[in-house]
């Protein structure tokens, strides 16, 4: 790893781990971090043997969000990429699952990174929230519409308009995250969740996720048609033949992604 690796990329089997590696700056997002997250997501999406990714932070911090020093220096635009938006992520078009392994506080932009992921495992004792209104700012990287969709308008408005943080236990109860674990178990639990996904046929996972992501954007008729298209895109693949064959032969399926 070189000094310029502010985001690291590691792969274990079919699971990739992206780690924001600026612990001295609480893993805040600057231009280099945003650019490297985007580049690593490109690599992940293009790799047929990479099926699930995890994003986390180095040390005991997830991400402090936007690097305020960069903003003060007039470099606010660098914190977003053209395709991915803030952190190279929040508006990124992704076909594969992304899990947040939240090992420290997820406030402001850190919370918006969490919300941009498909699932999240969170450490006990951290805070999750959007304190922007306390600073006469606006959470502009997706939280204002993702949070109401995730937990409903009343609870979301409380979080957004008070700026007060919530606990991981509240987030779990409200359906915002998947699990709350001790801090030293966050990455292990996120990896276990990723591996539970990665044992399944990758093309079927991607097709299913594509429809599930549109659940709040489309009407039932369009979602029914999208589900049919997803089925049609998968049924003719080699993996769709392998799944029933493995079941009949009472053995684990061997997926090829084809």
Distance of alpha carbon 173 from alpha carbon 214, whole angstroms: 23
Calculate ∠ Cα 39-105-42, nearest 5°: 10
Sequence-ordered alpha helix ranges (H) in 122-201: 143-151, 153-162, 168-173, 186-198
**Has 222 been annotated as catalytic?**
no
Of the CA atoms within 13 Å of residue 76, those in its CB half-sphere come to 7
DSSP H or E run through 7: strand 7-12
Catalytic hit among 132, 169, 218, 242: 132
- Tell me whether residue 34 is exposed, middle or buried, using C-beta atoms within 10 angstroms of its C-beta: 0 to 12, 13 to 18, 19 or more: buried
**CA 211, 215, 216, 221 torsion: positive or negative?**
positive
**Has 132 been annotated as catalytic?**
yes
- Tell me whether residue 129 is exposed, middle or buried, using C-beta atoms within 10 angstroms of its C-beta: 0 to 12, 13 to 18, 19 or more: buried
Catalytic hit among 38, 70, 112, 189: 112
The string over 153-172, giving b where at least 16 C-beta atoms fall within 10 Å of a residue's C-beta and e elsewhere, is eebbeebbeebebbbbebbe
Contacts of 178 (CB under 8 A, 6+ apart): 119, 120, 121, 172, 193
- Tell me whether residue 112 is exposed, middle or buried, using C-beta atoms within 10 angstroms of its C-beta: 0 to 12, 13 to 18, 19 or more: buried
Active site residues: 112, 132
């Amino acid at each position: 790893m070189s000094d310029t690796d502010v985001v690291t990329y590691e792969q274990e089997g079919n699971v990739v781990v992206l780690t924001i590696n600026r612990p001295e700056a609480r893993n805040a997002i600057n231009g280099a971090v945003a650019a490297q997250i985007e580049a690593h997501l490109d690599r992940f999406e293009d790799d047929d043997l990479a099926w699930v990714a995890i994003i986390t932070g180095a040390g005991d911090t997830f991400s402090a969000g936007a690097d305020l020093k960069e903003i003060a220096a007039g470099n606010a635009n660098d914190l977003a990429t053209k395709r991915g938006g803030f952190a190279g992520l929040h508006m990124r078009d992704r076909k594969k699952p992304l899990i947040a392994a939240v090992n420290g506080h997820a406030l402001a932009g850190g919370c918006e990174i969490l919300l941009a992921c498909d699932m999240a495992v969170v450490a006990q004792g951290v805070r999750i929230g959007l304190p922007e209104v306390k600073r006469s700012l606006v959470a502009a990287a997706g939280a204002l519409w993702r949070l109401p969709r995730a937990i409903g308008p009343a609870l979301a408005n409380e979080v957004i308009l008070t700026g007060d943080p919530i606990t991981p236990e509240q987030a779990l109860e409200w359906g915002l995250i998947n699990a709350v674990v001790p801090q030293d178990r966050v990455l292990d639990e996120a990896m276990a969740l990723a591996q539970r996904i990665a044992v399944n046929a990758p093309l079927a996972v991607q097709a299913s996720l594509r429809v599930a992501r549109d659940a709040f954007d489309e009407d039932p008729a369009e979602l029914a048609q999208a589900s049919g298209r997803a089925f049609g895109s998968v049924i003719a693949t080699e993996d769709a033949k392998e799944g029933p064959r493995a079941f009949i032969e009472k053995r684990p399926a061997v997926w090829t992604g084809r």
